[in-house]
Structure 1
Amino acid sequence: MIRATLLALASLLLTACAQQADLRGSGDLGVVVERASGSLQIVESSRRSRLARVEGLGDLSHASVVFSRDQRYAYVFGRDGGLTKVDLLRQRIDRRIVQGGNSIGGAISQDGSLIAVSNYEPGGVRVFDAATLAPIAEIVATPLAEGGKRSRVVGLVDAPGQRFVFSLFDTGEIWTADFSQGHTPIVTRYTGIGKQPYDALITPDGRYYMAGLFGEDGMARLDLWHPERGVQRVLEDYGRGAQKLPVYKMPHLEGWTVAGEQAFVPAVGHHQVLVLDSRDWRQTDRIDVLGQPVFVMARPDHRQIWVNFAYPDNGKVQVIDSETHRIISTLEPGPAVLHMEFTARGDQLWLSVRDGGEVQVWDPYRLELLQCLPAQSPSGIFFSSRAHETGL
């Protein structure tokens, strides 16, 4: 009897130890979008390894990802209108809906309870419960003059005060949607902000919402501390202007970076990175680079700026010293570098090499390649640490 009891206790202890070994935190996890196959790789940065592949996420040709505040769930916004909630720990789809016909990104609210999706078709923003993906609200965009359609929505971000901010491409507007009083939003509209806002960002402190204009030079800025001042035009020279270079890929404005009192910005259609004073948004310098920049990203300590490029220079990456504005190094990771992502403390830089079929991990201090992980046409890379950053 005693022997049987001891065996049972030993079995329970072994089971508990095995279960404990299976437990893990979510803070070092991330996802890699595999755009061609509609799948997602779950990766971890501590050992620079792949953990799993999750399939069945639809059209990921322009996918973006946000994370729950506990960093367990990734919300994937597909181009086909799909909204997929992925469990990073169980390594599977938790819930999935198709909420629209053509989507261009999304955001998670400040408190983590709401997921908003911006839509080209139908034009507007749809908001869902983050736990269940049940519909909460629909914000209908401005109808177009010809009737039957509504303006496409771009540049959707979360903002402090349980707000979402977004732009209307076809009608030249910026809207804010305040959910602080419940599930019926208070919507404020700013019209006449400029022609065709194509993308936007919010500064890391959540104060300024900046929309780039495709139809004219310049940007539109909304000060969320003082929204009563309306939308102001800044950076009048920012845009394609009279230059003759073809624009192969418009830079993503969330690929801007603010490093201390400087902002580093990809110049549209130029082989330059613009440097701005982030206090008054005036241009202070231009840095010549080898191609048309797409993403301009700061190492978390702001000491370096990493830049990738549009075709035909998309096989290279340049590293800039943020203090001197000099190019430190030109790297050649491989064909079609689409996206870059730093780990939260900046010890690693992950980048996707789409046409090389791999994700590379670099040491951004020694500028050395640490690891190569195979992937199917990888594009976006997103780490769960984004859960605690405004606008990402």
Structure 2
Amino acid sequence: MQQYRRMLGLPGVRALMILMFFARIPLAATAMVLTLLVAVGLGGSYGAAGLVGAAGTIGVAVGAPLMGHVVDRYGLRPMVLLATLCEAAFWLTARFMPYPVLLGSAFFGGLLALPSMSIARQAIAAMVPEDLRRTAFSLDSISIELSYMVGPALAVLLATQLSPQAATTGLGCAVLVVGLLIVAFNPRVRADHERGDTERVPRREWLTPKFIGVLAVGGGAVFVLAGTDVTMIAALRANGELDWTGLLVVIICTSSAAGGLVHGAVRRSLPQVVLMGLMGLLTIPAALFIGEWWLLALALVPSSFLCAPTMATTGEEVARLAPVSMRGAATGLQSSALTLGASLGAPAIGFVVDHSSPAWGFAAAGLGGVLVAGAAWGLGAGRTKKANQVVPVG
């Protein structure tokens, strides 16, 4: 664990990791709060709730690169202040909106949302030297897993014990608090030796096919995850075992966190596209184990183990390939790619499940991941440094 000790011993890194864990809890709760507000608070359908969620997701995908551009031009604090005030205003007023107004406002709420994911990645790239970035991005991926275990649970707790409207108010207050904490902490987004690097680099010079391939892998990983989640719920529901959903989610999240822990400790790692391809390939066999929830959990452990490493390597590659002066825009595009993967994965695999069976859902999700990995390799994302093409060693 020497790599982790060295990384956490760097000035400000330990505080950054703790802060970003809490900063991403509101983000993790967003989808659940919107669903509960529309379906329960406003008495609408789940389809109507999905439309609001889709509007917010599109807003996030469009807004993340724009927010990154603001960081590149004006610095982190102005962007965080703007995003915090706008997103908090949306959540604090959402409880008073009729459905048509909420549907229209959700896009702008996502467009101007606090990009906590991008902030963490930019800060890690600036505060951690390249030889420790794998470890830092791995720990960041583990932190994301934990945030997504806590956020939705808190949202459900507030909505059921108080009301969905109280959950939106609580989320608005949480966004305001974490945003002001980020402003106060003001993590660096440029290393000391990078502060003079302000020259604007034309997008065509860094947004290369190889960079697009790296983004595709990140989006592909989330595609597999979103498709797996939908199929997992369908399989449990078909077996009358829906009550075991929470425990199954904890098992696969724990597996992903363990994979991230190992990935961050090794000195050399598999290439990004290989991790992505293996993740998709190992998802397919889950189609054979949908009879019992515990068998399904065991079947999903191997692919889940590669989730955090794949995401960590994506962040590492983006930080390595993006020019310093365009790092904000680059990490914003990464967030957009992840959002797009989630937006495509759930409905596409859900369509497969609706017209066949949960077994085919797992097969389609895994095959989609393999195809994305192959396409990314063709774009050049797999052609990394020779040192990175060695099987992990302890």
The answer to whether TM tops 0.5 is no
TM-score interval (norm. to shorter): under 0.3
TM-score, normalised relative to structure 1: 0.25
Of Structure 1 and Structure 2, which has the larger fraction of its residues in helix?
2
